[in-house]
Structures are given as structure tokens and as C-alpha cells.
Homo-oligomer: A and B are copies of this chain.
Amino acid sequence: MTAEVDASLEEKIVELTCGARAAGRKLANQNTQTKNGLLLELARLLDSKPTRARLLEANSKDLEAAREKGISGALLDRLALDDKRIDGMIQGLEEVAKLPDPVGVVRQSWTRPNGLQVDKRTIPLGVVGIIYEARPNVTIDAFSLCFKAGNATVLKGGSEAIHTNRALVETISSVLTPSGLEDTCQFIDSTSREAVSVLLQQEETVDVIIPRGGEPLIRFVTANSRIPVIKHYKGVCHVYVDEQADLEMAAAIAENAKVSRPGVCNALETLLVHEKVASEFLPGFSEKMNTAGVELRGDPASRAILPEIRKATEEDYYEEFLDLILAVRVVSGLDQAVDHIEKYGSSHTEAIVTRSSDRAREFLERVDSSVVLVNASTRFSDGGELGLGAEIGISTSKLHAYGPMGLESLVTEKFVIHGEGQIRE
């Protein structure tokens, strides 16, 4: 795609978001059956041979262009589509179709002394802008969740995935067009970064922006958006091994949190160990980590026990390694653990391992991260694992949603009031 002139790009994005707004209004009043039917039809179409072939062909163009640019490794892997990943999209659609419809639910209801009947009823947010990077599966996942919750979607994917995303959106459109709902899925068909800036100014037509990707993208979006943004920057997650921990359980939880999938935001980054159990716990745990290929970096107290490990710097404690590296610190107790988490943490997910219900309660109360656990792995901080169904994202800012967000985070509540002629004094 050739670069576009500014004015025409802006015009196009304004038109496209206005279209989304109007289509969103139409979608808001569709019943559950209609929405589910279209999601399942999309699943069937994705599963058809010609569509699979078209998607893989488009994806191979993106992969080729990426290789020419010298892109490799993790980024290339995120970009790549294969039949298994298409299967994943299809499964995702089927799961979303099964989830309860979050729209039209009366969450609260009461009657005022003057007889006014007040309901708080869920309605869609309206138009959701999704700004993401190389992963093409986000196109289907984000669209389907927004659609189920009655929202129109404006998609701006990474330039690396432009051919794949275009093919995916064409597939979505072909399913929606017979119902006249094609404008509920809008795609900004541009590889220009400026398109993001223009989208972020459309506060009259777009209700929320959800950026998905690395911290620099998310910081750019937050700094430039006039539209409310739901986001998390990073996940610097902690496990605190309390003095009264079951140490075998602690080792299993910490290992699972670190090793099961180190590249994700709910993976463990820093382990805090009570000084009274450090010398009993750390040597065995260190061996376990060694076997798993994890590099430990420690403070002086942990290095007194494990002299072979590298020194942890101040920066290490702020770092989201997303890799087989684990920072370790010996703390004097719960107070210091909580202080450490407040200072270095990212409000994402923290766990305590302890047999003491008092200690657990104190930790759960004092740590104000979006997900706090006792005696369980941080890796459960995930919409699917927590039973929310598919996840549209994770919020570490406290407005609207805090923590993993499922369908329920894609609606809001309006006040619906029935009177019999009441006027105000």
C-alpha cells in the first residue's frame, strides 16, 4: 500500500469511525441469536479450504516482506499463520458464541420514595478502537469479543501484518454484509503510524481505545489519545515466600510462574523470600532453576546463600524480563515485601505462599495490584483461567476495569427510569 496524503488519511478515518458509530447503534439492538449465528458462520468460513488458502497466501506475503526487512525470531513467529493458528481462531469464535450475552442485563434495580423505578441496565460501550502489533489472531479475537458485546470495532494492526489482516477483515465482511452489519468491523488499511494519531483524536465517534502490544506502543497511545484508554504497560509480577510457607509448594508455584511461559505478562519476574526461610529454601530452589535453565540475579542476602548467582541491579527489580531470568530478594518480612511490590511492581499480579491465614489476609488487603493470590501461581491471572471467558486485555489502571477483562468489561450501564409523571420539587 502506498503512503497516503495526510488530509485524505484523516478524511478516511473520520468516515470510517462515523460508519462504525452508526453500525454500532444498529448492532446494539441485535439479539443474542443473531450475533452468535454470525460468529459461528465466520468460524465455518475460516474453516473452509479456500479461505484457509487465501489467508496463508496473504500471510506468506507478510512473512516475505518481514524477512526482507531482516525481521526474525520472536517477531516473525508472532506474525506467522499456519493451520493450527487458524484452528485457534475458529475455536475462539466458538467459545465466544457460547458465552452469555453481556448486553441488556439489569445489574441493579431499586424504587425511590417518590415511586421512580430505577434500573441500571448494561449497554454496549459503542465503538472500540483496537491498536495492535504483529499478531494477526488479535484481529479475530478482538473483533469477536467486541461484536458479542454489541460494539463496533475499529482495527489498526501492525504494518507487518497488513496483508494477513486485510484478508481476515475481508472474511469478516463477507459474513456481515448480508445482514447489513459490515460496518461494525472497520479496518484502517494503512501502514502509516500517523493513522494511529488520527484515530486517537476521534473522541466524538470512538468510545474506548485498547492498545495491545509492547510498552512503547502503549505509552505512545496513552500520551496521544483524547479517547479513554484501557491498558497495561507491563507485568512485573512477584511471588512472596512467607516465613510460614509450605516450601515445597512455594518452589512449585515459583517454578510454574517463571518457567511455564516466560514471555507473557503474568509470568513471575521477582521472587521475594522471608529471611527466616531463605537459607532453607534457596539452595534447592536454585538447583531447580538451574535445571530449568533460569538465570537467578540476587541481592546481597541471597548471594550470601547462593554465592554463584549474579548480582541484581536496581534496574533488574523494575524489569519485565519476559525471559528465563528471575530476580531474587531476601526480605525481613511482609512489610518489606509489600514495600518492594509497591516500589517496583506494575499493579499486575502478586502472590503470597503461606500457611498462615492472617498473613494471607494482610497481604491480600495491603497489596493493591489487580490480581492478588494466596498459594497459587501468578499464571492464573488470565481471563480464561479465571472463568471470564476469552480475554480482551488486562488493565492495570483502576478506571473501568482492573485486571483481566472479559466480555463484561466491554459494556457499561445506563440508568433506565420509569415514572408516572413525577416532577422535581
Contacts and interface: CB of A to CB of B under 8 A. Distances in A.
Interface of A: 25, 28-29, 110, 112, 116, 118, 123, 125-126, 203, 207-208, 222-223, 226, 228-230, 246, 249, 252-253, 255-257, 260, 342, 360, 364-366, 368-377, 379-381, 385-387, 397-400, 402-404, 412-425
22 contacts: A112-B387, A116-B376, A125-B398, A126-B368, A228-B399, A253-B423, A260-B423, A370-B414, A373-B417, A375-B418, A375-B419, A375-B420, A376-B417, A376-B421, A376-B422, A379-B423, A380-B422, A380-B424, A400-B400, A402-B412, A402-B414, A403-B415
Contacts of A252: 421, 423
The winner among A226, A366, A371, A376 for most chain B CB atoms within 10 A is A376
B381 A415 contact: yes
A376 B416 CA distance: 11
Contacts of A373: 417-419
B123 A414 contact: no
Nearest to A367: B414
Contacts of A380: 116, 417, 419, 422, 424
A223 B419 CA distance: 38
Given A223-B226, A377-B424, A370 B415 contact: yes
Contacts of A386: 112, 116, 118, 415, 417
A405 B379 CA distance: 35
Contact of A28 (B25, B207, B368): B368
A237 to B, nearest CB: 13
A207 to B, nearest CB: 5
Nearest to A371: B415
A366 B403 CA distance: 31
Nearest to A224: B226
Given A112-B386, A398-B208, A422-B380, A417 B256 contact: no
Contacts of A110: 387
Contacts of A398: 123, 125-126, 207-208, 412
A372 B414 CA distance: 8
A412 to B, nearest CB: 4
Contacts of A372: 414-417
A25 B345 CA distance: 15
A419 B118 CA distance: 39
A253 B415 CA distance: 18
Contact of A222 (B125, B226, B397): B226
Contacts of A424: 256, 260, 377, 379-380, 385
Given A112-B386, A112-B387, A387-B112, A376 B419 contact: yes
